[in-house]
Structure 1
Amino acid sequence: MAAVFLDIEKAYDTMWREAELLPVQQGKWVTVRDRSSRGSKKHSSVPITITNRFAPLSETPTENSVDCALVIGDSITRNVKIGTPANIVTCLPGARAPDIKANLKVLGNANRKFSKIVIHVGTNDVRLRQSEITKINIKEVFELASTMSGTVICSGPLPVRRSDEIVSRLSSFNGWLSMWCPQNNIEFIDNWKSFWGKPDLLKRDGIHPSWDGAALLSSNLAHSLRDKT
């Protein structure tokens, strides 16, 4: 089993070094420990359940599923930690909106229901430079999520440090989400405001949150989950 975890960690390390993230594939659930123990004593080694690009959601724990909140997103959510054990954090590296939709469909086909669903996606979609198609895909994801939970929450994108074009597209996307979500009974978490002008909240790649950034994102999500009933 230790060898399996090591292989998975090596796979993730390779992915973080690449500028472009890979499409999502499906495989099996794995439970890994917080890797913060390698370099910092600030973060506890609390086990979190995530999916990697090999993992299907069909094997998510079924105990009290209707009472669980699901947080699902791309690699931005990799180090997100929500305190309550009734929350499931599912990270799909490289995921775009259609990948999130496909994984939610697996759960829907298994009649899974959740108390709340938080979705963080869009950064990889924006790179395709197809804004109208991205909007359609995003709408479909949230429409599907709404059939699985009475409370659906959108976690907005982070202001990445990349090319001016990508930053502009993400800013526009964030603005659209901030208007579209309330109009469709979806809570919107404006992470852009929380992260803007704070470069230390992102890693050197300018995309993924640093430990402090992951803590802030976790706090934003946890606050939203507490407020929505």
Structure 2
Amino acid sequence: MQGDSQADGEDFRTRYTHPNLIEDCKSARALDTALDAISLENTVHCSVPAEVEPVEQGNWVTVSRCSCGTKHRSSVPITTSNRFSPLSETPTENPVESALVICDSITRNVKIETPATIVTCLSGARALDIKANLKVLTNANRKFSKIIIHVGTDDVRLRQSEITKINIKEVFELASTMSGSVICSGPLPVRRSDEMVSRLSSLNVWLSKWCPQNNIEFIDNWKSFWGRPDLLKRDGIHPSWDGAALLSRNMAHSLRDKT
């Protein structure tokens, strides 16, 4: 039995210490090492070797590593500009624009041949409505060479003469801040009720006196339209084509006269 055990030991040593077996083990370890290296290279794509600089800070160790996985990008110059610079070059005040004619529907068909004239028709507008529109232009720093405001029929519908006068004064005061030349176009002698004709006539007389006292030119359309029913439409309020042409000439004359 003892002889058999020794034989088995010699046989075991012979099989597991054979030179070929040792070489196979070395080759296997070399192959594993190579595979580990290849696996590590595929996992970490870094063109710069990692620099490990341990810095002891108490119980912590700070490790500096390269930024892996990033590609080198060429530096592109960035152009910068001050987006607020155009504001500094903008003039504090807008330049003076063309003449402005503003009124209610009476001026719907007014055509003025004088160059650079803006005709604004606000249907149903009264003095306060015109003031509100002028205020919008004022907030935008709009300036005009001349401003013509036509005072018409819609204001006397209130049947409050004194309040109407106050509203008209406020409109022309605001217009005077927008232009050095403000012109008042007087009402037309409508063919409606006697009461409306009377109120418009009184308003026309008041304007003919108040305007010169406040350095405002007055266009007396009453004289031009009086006794000419053909200059009004069938409604007796709005000017006909001939009436619109006459009103246009009266306004154009005042614009040229003040040039």
Q: 1:181 corresponds to which residue?
A: 211
Do 2:114 and 2:252's aligned partners in 1 also have CA atoms closer than 8 Å? no
Q: Which runs of 5+ in 1 are unaligned?
A: 1-63
Determine helix, strand or coil for the equivalent of 2:109: coil
1:215 aligns with 2:242: no
Q: Where do residues 80-159 of structure 1 align in structure 2 (5 Å cutoff)?
A: 80-159=110-189
Return the TM-score normalized by structure 1: 0.71
Residue identity matched to 2:219: I
Q: Deviations over 1:18-48 (max 9, x none)?
A: xxxxxxxxxxxxxxxxxxxxxxxxxxxxxxx
Task: Measure the CA separation in 1 of the matches of 2:174 and 2:147.
Answer: 11
Query: Which AA in structure 2 matches 1:175?
Result: V
Could you say what secondary structure the match of 2:96 adopts? helix
Q: How many residues align?
A: 166
Letter of the structure 2 residue corresponding to residue 137 of structure 1: N
Q: 2-side partners of 1:80 and 1:122: how far apart?
A: 14
SS for the counterpart of 2:124 is coil
Q: Is 1:201 matched with 2:231?
A: yes
| TM-score relative to the length of structure 2 | 0.63
Name the residue aligned to 2:258: 228
Residues 151, 186 of structure 1: 8 Å contact kept:
yes
Give the Cα separation in 2 of the matches to 1:125 and 1:200.
Answer: 24
Distance, in Å, in 2 between the alignment partners of 1:161 and 1:97 is: 22
- Higher RCO (Cα < 8 Å, 6 or more apart): 1
- RMSD over aligned CA atoms reads 1.1
- Cα distance, 1:67 vs structure 2: 3.6
* 1: CA distance, partners of 2:182 / 2:256: 13
Shift of 1:211: 0.1
1:71 alignment partner, SS class: strand
Q: Deviations over 1:132-152 (max 9, x none)?
A: 000000000000000000000
Structure 2 unmatched runs, 5+: 1-93
- Measure, in 2, the Cα distance between the counterparts of 1:220 and 1:177: 16
- The counterpart of 1:73, out of the listed 85, 88, 103, is 103
Q: Shift in Å at residue 84 of structure 1?
A: 3.0
**Aligned-residue offset at 1:125:** 1.1
| SS in structure 2 at match of 1:66 | coil
